[in-house]
């Protein structure tokens, strides 16, 4: 039995809590997250409103809870898009001839050099600002890092003798990719997914902050930050709560990614 490493445990706990919060928010929040109540604008934290209310009198805790749904949803779709495109591209690059592999990887580098946020803003400008365009744009911008990591893992697998044995048995490239390469890079995919998830969460917050992400009234941590701007001096807590939420979420997914990487290290895993 291998020992669990602390970053894996802490990361998993944080991510678990966020997921739990999001699930709970479907059935229960202290108040309706979008309920406007001018009578209690900018209320301080109290027993009835634990984290206070914002400029429209909406309950901050409820907004944070519902906002975690947006965060997770954005991360899931963005990472999903990145993995669905990036993994096959990486495996293809690893298995194709040298010149084809060069073409794939150089175009990959080209996309890698393109800033994710800029791409997302362009998407927003062209297709209209929405959670979906933000997610797809972040996903596409994450494809190159996926492809790069998966390619290097797949190259290692292609050099093993079990792939040679499969070829000697008459397996053709596509089944080899499916039966041998893909199962042996799943650990890399998991690690890359959790790290990309953190990046996606941050990117969504940044986009919402800039007004290119989730449009109102759907609560989003990034937009909560943006709306708190004008009260930075009078009510800094409005910026602190979503800011801390974003920081903890990013930390959680990064820790989880690091922990998984240690646990799945191909050298430890395959050379046991």
- Binding flag, residue 166, other proteins (CB under 8 A): yes
- For other proteins, the closer of residues 88 and 266 by Cβ is 266
Shortest distance, CB of residue 93 to other proteins, whole angstroms? Answer: 18
Q: Tokens 């990487």 correspond to what residue?
A: 261
3-state secondary structure of 228: coil
Interacting span for other proteins (CB under 8 A) from 50-58, 64-72, 224-232, 264-272: 264-272
- Binding flag, residue 58, other proteins (CB under 8 A): no
Q: Which residue of 168, 174, 233, 234 would you call a contact of other proteins, by CB under 8 A? A: 168
- Binding flag, residue 183, other proteins (CB under 8 A): yes
CB atoms within 10 A of CB 68: 25
Interacting span for other proteins (CB under 8 A) from 88-96, 137-145, 179-187, 227-235: 179-187
- Binding flag, residue 160, other proteins (CB under 8 A): yes
Q: Answer for the pair 260, 190: CB distance below 8 angstroms, yes or no.
A: yes
Residue 160, φ and ψ in degrees, nearest 5: -75, 160
- Binding flag, residue 171, other proteins (CB under 8 A): yes
Shortest distance, CB of residue 182 to other proteins, whole angstroms? Answer: 9
Shortest distance, CB of residue 205 to other proteins, whole angstroms? Answer: 37
Distance, in Å, from the CA atom of 257 to the CA atom of 246, rounded to the nearest integer, reads 17
Shortest distance, CB of residue 165 to other proteins, whole angstroms? Answer: 6
Shortest distance, CB of residue 168 to other proteins, whole angstroms? Answer: 5
- For other proteins, the closer of residues 106 and 272 by Cβ is 272
- Binding flag, residue 153, other proteins (CB under 8 A): no
- Binding flag, residue 175, other proteins (CB under 8 A): yes
Q: Tokens 């990064």 correspond to what residue?
A: 254
- For other proteins, the closer of residues 38 and 170 by Cβ is 170
- Binding flag, residue 265, other proteins (CB under 8 A): no
Quick one: which of 194, 209, 229, 196 has its CA closest to 67? 209
Shortest distance, CB of residue 141 to other proteins, whole angstroms? Answer: 31
The radius of gyration of the chain from alpha carbons, rounded to an integer in Å, stands at: 22
x/- letters, 223..242, toward other proteins (CB under 8 A): --------------------
Q: Which residue of 4, 23, 164, 248 would you call a contact of other proteins, by CB under 8 A? A: 164
Q: What angle do CA 27, 32, 33 make, to 5 degrees?
A: 100
Q: Which residues contact 139 (CB under 8 A, 6 or more apart)?
A: 77, 78, 79, 80, 81, 82, 85, 200
What torsion, rounded to 10 degrees, do the Cα atoms 43, 58, 207, 73 define? 130
Angle between helix 60-95 and helix 98-112 axes, rounded to 10 deg: 160
List Cα–Cα distances, 16 to 23, 236, 240, 260, in angstroms: 10, 28, 22, 15
Q: Answer for the pair 48, 221: CB distance below 8 angstroms, yes or no.
A: no
Catalog residues that contact other proteins under the rule CB under 8 A.
Answer: 160-162, 164-172, 175, 179-180, 183-184, 269-272
């Amino acid at each position: 039995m291998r020992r669990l490493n602390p970053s894996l445990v802490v990361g998993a706990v944080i991510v678990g809590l966020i997921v739990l919060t999001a699930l709970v928010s479907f059935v229960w929040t202290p108040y309706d997250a979008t309920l406007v109540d001018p009578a209690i604008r900018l209320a301080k934290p109290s027993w009835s409103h634990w984290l206070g209310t914002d400029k429209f009198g909406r309950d901050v805790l409820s907004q944070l809870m519902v906002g975690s749904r947006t965060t997770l949803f954005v991360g899931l779709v963005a990472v999903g898009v990145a993995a669905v495109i990036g993994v096959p591209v990486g495996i293809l690059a690893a298995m194709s001839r040298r010149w084809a592999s060069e073409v794939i990887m150089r175009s990959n580098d080209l996309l890698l050099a393109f800033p994710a946020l800029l791409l997302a803003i362009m998407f927003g400008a062209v297709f209209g600002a929405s959670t979906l365009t933000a997610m797809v744009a972040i996903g596409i911008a994450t494809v190159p890092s996926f492809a790069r990591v998966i390619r290097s893992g797949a190259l290692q697998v292609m050099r093993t003798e079990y792939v040679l044995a499969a070829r000697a048995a008459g397996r053709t490239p596509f089944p080899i990719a499916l039966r041998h390469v893909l199962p042996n890079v799943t650990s890399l995919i998991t690690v890359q997914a959790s790290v990309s998830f953190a990046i996606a969460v941050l990117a969504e917050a940044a986009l919402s902050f800039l007004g290119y992400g989730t449009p109102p009234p759907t609560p989003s941590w990034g937009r909560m930050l943006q709306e708190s701007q004008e009260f930075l001096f009078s009510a800094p807590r409005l910026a602190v709560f979503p800011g801390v939420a974003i920081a903890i979420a990013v930390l959680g997914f990064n820790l989880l990614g690091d922990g998984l990487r240690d646990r799945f290290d191909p050298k430890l895993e395959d050379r046991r």
